[in-house]
Amino acid sequence: MPYVNIKITKEGATPEQKAQLIQGATQLLIDVLGKNPRTTVVVIDEVATDNWGIGGETVTSLRKRA
Protein backbone atom coordinates (compact mmCIF):
# COMPACT_ATOMS: atom_id res chain seq x y z
CA MET A 1 0.00 0.00 0.00
CA PRO A 2 3.00 2.34 0.04
CA TYR A 3 3.12 5.60 -1.83
CA VAL A 4 6.47 6.78 -3.16
CA ASN A 5 7.09 10.23 -4.64
CA ILE A 6 10.36 10.81 -6.48
CA LYS A 7 11.23 14.39 -7.37
CA ILE A 8 14.02 14.98 -9.88
CA THR A 9 15.07 17.92 -11.99
CA LYS A 10 13.65 17.90 -15.52
CA GLU A 11 16.80 17.17 -17.44
CA GLY A 12 15.93 14.51 -19.95
CA ALA A 13 15.03 11.35 -18.01
CA THR A 14 13.69 8.93 -20.63
CA PRO A 15 10.47 6.92 -20.35
CA GLU A 16 12.68 3.83 -19.91
CA GLN A 17 14.56 5.40 -17.00
CA LYS A 18 11.31 6.47 -15.38
CA ALA A 19 9.95 2.94 -15.79
CA GLN A 20 13.11 1.68 -14.06
CA LEU A 21 12.61 4.08 -11.15
CA ILE A 22 9.04 2.86 -10.75
CA GLN A 23 10.06 -0.79 -10.99
CA GLY A 24 12.99 -0.32 -8.60
CA ALA A 25 11.10 1.62 -5.95
CA THR A 26 8.28 -0.94 -5.98
CA GLN A 27 10.79 -3.79 -5.66
CA LEU A 28 12.51 -2.02 -2.75
CA LEU A 29 9.26 -1.97 -0.79
CA ILE A 30 8.75 -5.68 -1.51
CA ASP A 31 12.31 -6.57 -0.49
CA VAL A 32 12.52 -4.53 2.71
CA LEU A 33 8.97 -4.60 4.04
CA GLY A 34 7.15 -7.28 2.08
CA LYS A 35 4.67 -4.77 0.69
CA ASN A 36 2.14 -5.76 -1.94
CA PRO A 37 3.21 -4.33 -5.31
CA ARG A 38 -0.35 -4.28 -6.63
CA THR A 39 -1.24 -1.37 -4.37
CA THR A 40 2.17 0.32 -4.37
CA VAL A 41 1.98 3.67 -6.14
CA VAL A 42 5.03 5.56 -7.42
CA VAL A 43 4.74 9.12 -8.73
CA ILE A 44 7.67 10.91 -10.39
CA ASP A 45 7.73 14.70 -10.48
CA GLU A 46 10.10 16.33 -12.94
CA VAL A 47 10.85 19.88 -11.80
CA ALA A 48 12.25 22.67 -14.00
CA THR A 49 15.81 23.62 -13.01
CA ASP A 50 14.57 27.19 -12.38
CA ASN A 51 12.25 25.79 -9.74
CA TRP A 52 14.75 23.65 -7.82
CA GLY A 53 17.22 25.15 -5.40
CA ILE A 54 20.04 23.82 -3.31
CA GLY A 55 22.51 25.88 -1.31
CA GLY A 56 20.20 28.84 -1.85
CA GLU A 57 20.74 28.79 -5.61
CA THR A 58 18.70 27.48 -8.52
CA VAL A 59 19.95 24.43 -10.38
CA THR A 60 19.85 26.55 -13.56
CA SER A 61 22.45 28.81 -12.00
CA LEU A 62 24.51 25.88 -10.64
CA ARG A 63 24.57 24.22 -14.08
CA LYS A 64 25.89 27.43 -15.69
CA ARG A 65 28.79 27.59 -13.30
CA ALA A 66 29.65 23.90 -13.60
Number of amino acids touching a copy of itself (CB under 8 A):
51
Q: Is 63 in the site for a copy of itself (CB under 8 A)?
A: no
Picking from 55, 48, 39, the residue whose alpha carbon sits closest to that of residue 8 is: 48
Nearer to a copy of itself (CB atom), residue 47 or residue 65? 47
Helix (H, G, I), strand (E, B) or coil at 9: strand
Which of residues 33, 64, 65, 66 is near a copy of itself by CB under 8 A? Answer: 33
Helix (H, G, I), strand (E, B) or coil at 41: strand
Q: Is 18 in the site for a copy of itself (CB under 8 A)?
A: yes
Check residue 18 and report its DSSP letter.
H
Query: Which residues carry out catalysis?
Result: 2
